[in-house]
A and B are shown apart, each in its own frame.
Chain A
Amino acid sequence: MTTPALTVTHLTRLFNVSAPWLNRVIERKPMAFLRAVDDISFTVPSGGCLSLVGESGCGKSTVARLVTGLYQPTSGQMQFAMGKDGKPLAAQMIFQDPYASLNPRWRVFDIIAEPLRELKLRDTEAEIAERVGELLTTVGLVPRDGRKFPHEFSGGQRQRISIARALATEPEFLVCDEPTSALDVSVQAQILNLMRKLQDEMGLTYLFISHDMSVVRHMSDQIAVMYLGRIVEQAETEVLFADPKHPYTQLLLDTIPNVADPRRDRVPQSGEVPSPMNPPSGCTFHPRCPQADARCAAERPEMQAYGDGSRVACHRVAEAMAALAVPTVGNSTGQRLSA
């Protein structure tokens, strides 16, 4: 995991959500833009797995679509590393809903063969058939299943078909947008195990998008937590779970129902994600943050790197770390921290 497979710098995507032109002229309304992804930077380690987590509307799926080229970025760069064949890595995508992402009128064989035919990766039908059979076997189905239609499969089997289709072009980079959230837990375990196995065997790199912290913990090497279009904290998985720094990460980890150690008497933190149409000033989390002060409302915190490899965008964390690094006697912040 030395060179990053994907380097994203200052990526921003706006959506034009203005009223129609005539309304704007008559009602004198300005153009309106929604900042779905707001100046984010991250790297995905080669052969590793970076997960983006966050609640609905935080922009994680927009990042997935930007990375696969389904949306064009408004500004910022995405740089894929060179693959085995000397060309930039090819990215493929696995979608959330295996009921919607497979054409119900096509046989499974044609669904998986389409990328091969479209990109002319095999010359003859016989070679295509061989490759499709191979792919079906890889994902735990049998070549015979190619003759069936998607409706003849269960949800988990359909997601296996989506994975086979994504693998058809031999990509080295897979973007997985909530691949298991439409599945039952026992089936989710099958798919997660399959994805881990494929990663080990083929050296795949994953950009994994999920709202489920326990799934993310199982799958990823690094985690980036998103809130209202921004990354608020990024760290190695074990570091993030052992020592979450950003108050939003702490809130997320705190609210997950834990099967092994249920806390039935907890008092949940109140508040909800504000509308991304009209995000709060400064740090967008400040209206919900228990540690917020005037500075948080006024000034947007920048990402800062810390000793354990984590990067956090929070004034409080930055202040606490600065106080720890330079302990000044009599400083009230320092005393509070050491107490």
Chain B
Amino acid sequence: MTSMPMLDVRDLRVEFPGRHGSVTALDGVSLTIAAGEILGVVGESGAGKSMTGLAVQGLLEPPGHIAGGEVWLDGRRIDTLSEREMQHVRGREIGAIFQDPLTSLNPLFSVGRQLIETIRLHLPLGRAEARQRAIALLAEVGIPGPEERVDHYPHQFSGGMRQRVVIALALAARPKLIIADEPTTALDVSIQAQITSLLRKLCKEHGTAVMLVTHDMGVIAETADRVAVMYAGRLVEIGPVADVIARPSHPYTRGLMGSIPTLGARVPRLQQIDGSMPRLDAIPKGCAFNPRCPHVMPRCQTERPELRPSGSGLSACWLNTQAQERAA
């Protein structure tokens, strides 16, 4: 990638101060997304994947705050902007798609009114022009009969159609980056496929960078270009999606892939990762995964591994470092 990335997150650290000292929700997360690229962010609940999306948008719930690192969007640093300036960045430059399409739309206003409001807030358009653009957006996200549908209220749309409206809202001001947080989790499988292919199509057509946050490896496999795997607030592996899925390098990614029941061969017993993810106030020393790791070494319990090149991606594991040292 020679050109400058659209989103560049460098060593991001998010802390939540509390009565018993502060809790680190994100610890040294670095990632980039190029224009027209979809980066999948996966992990289990509490791994920090949604937190990454929120931190980029400046939407952390106080007292949570960015305690270190930088966020660059299209060559401009945005984590230091004031709340007022951030409001112009959100919507105009960063679009957001959330999990539940019913709660992200206002039930009291027609979808057209919500779209027109968003369009006119960010673009210098008149009422009639904005309405035309709203209809064009609804048509673009595949809603049949957009001329009539624009005056309907959210409850008149089905779940899949509502999520299309939410995508239209996110696209309203032609943002450079879209953060989609579990966009298909609330939908049925047959609708899920429609939404992910729509997201892919729009991303390629407009050259929008997309951060796709999900827990579903299947969605990542069919939608993302690259994938970042998170565990306990840290990035453990990042790389091209085909390589991470076919040849996962980090033991956590390997366990995660093994625990998914596949449609191919039927196994008598699924591979399982024993235990569960540590609480954020009790992250083990060294590598956060070491108590659950089948390949744990003494070094893992004391020293934290950094992201190092491994195959075509990066992986934070002492095993890989050891293998490379041996090879050298």
Residues on A close to B: CB < 8 A?
Answer: 55-56, 154-157, 184-190, 192-193, 196, 211, 213-215, 217-218, 237-238, 241, 251-253, 255-264, 266-273
Q: Chain B residues near A55 (CB, 8 Å)?
A: 188-190
Assembled-state Cα–Cα distance A256/B188 (Å):
10
Check: B87 CB closer than 8 A to any chain A CB. Answer: no
Q: A184-B45, A255-B192, A259-B245 are in contact. Are A217 and B215 (CB under 8 A)?
A: no
Q: State whether B245 touches A187 (Cβ < 8 A).
A: no
Q: Among the listed B196, B197, B256, B273, which residue makes an inter-chain contact with A267, where contact means beta carbons less than 8 Å apart?
A: B197
Q: Assess whether B274 is in contact with A190, with CB atoms less than 8 Å apart.
A: yes
User: Which residue on A lies nearest to B265, using beta carbons?
Assistant: A260
Q: Does B249 contact A (CB under 8 A)?
A: no
Complex contacts, B239 vs chain A, CB 8 Å? none
Point out the residues of chain A lying under 8 angstroms from B215, CB to CB: 184-185
Q: Which residues of A contact B218 (CB under 8 A)?
A: 256-259, 262
Q: How far is the CB of B249 from the nearest CB of chain A, in Å?
A: 17
Chain B residue nearest to A191 (CB atoms) is B272
Q: Could you give 30 example pairs across A and B, Cβ below 8 Å?
A: A55-B188, A56-B188, A155-B45, A157-B276, A184-B44, A186-B272, A189-B271, A190-B272, A192-B270, A193-B272, A214-B261, A217-B263, A217-B266, A237-B266, A251-B190, A253-B263, A255-B192, A256-B189, A257-B193, A257-B219, A258-B222, A258-B262, A258-B263, A261-B264, A262-B222, A266-B193, A268-B190, A269-B190, A271-B190, A272-B190
Q: Within 8 Å of chain A (Cβ to Cβ): is B191?
A: yes
CB of B270 within 8 A of CB of A189, answer yes
| Cβ contacts under 8 Å, A259 to chain B | 217-218, 221, 245, 257, 260, 262
Count residues of chain B with CB under 8 A from any CB of chain A. 45
Partner of B262, one of A56, A156, A157, A260: A260
Find A193's partner among B44, B196, B269 (CB 8 Å cutoff).
B269
With A55-B190, A193-B270, A267-B197 as known contacts, state yes or no: A260 contacts B276, CB within 8 Å. no
Min CB–CB distance B254 → chain A (angstroms): 11
Contact with A along B169-211 (1 / 0, CB 8 A): 0000000000000000000111111101100100000000000
Q: Is there an interface contact between B189 and A188, defined as CB atoms closer than 8 Å?
A: no
A residues less than 8 Å from B264 (CB atoms): 260-261
With both beta carbons as reference points, the residue of chain B lying nearest to A54 in the complex is identified as B188
Distance A36 CA – B276 CA, assembled complex (angstroms): 38
Give the residue of A192, A252, A257 whose beta carbon is less than 8 angstroms from that of B216. A257
For the complex, what is the distance from the CA of A273 to the CA of B270, rounded to whole Å? 32
B185 nearest CB across to chain A (Å): 10
User: Which chain B residues lie closer than 8 Å to A215 at the CB level?
Assistant: 261
The answer to whether B197 and A268 have CB atoms under 8 Å apart is yes
Max chain A CB contacts within 10 Å: which of B219, B258, B268, B270? B270
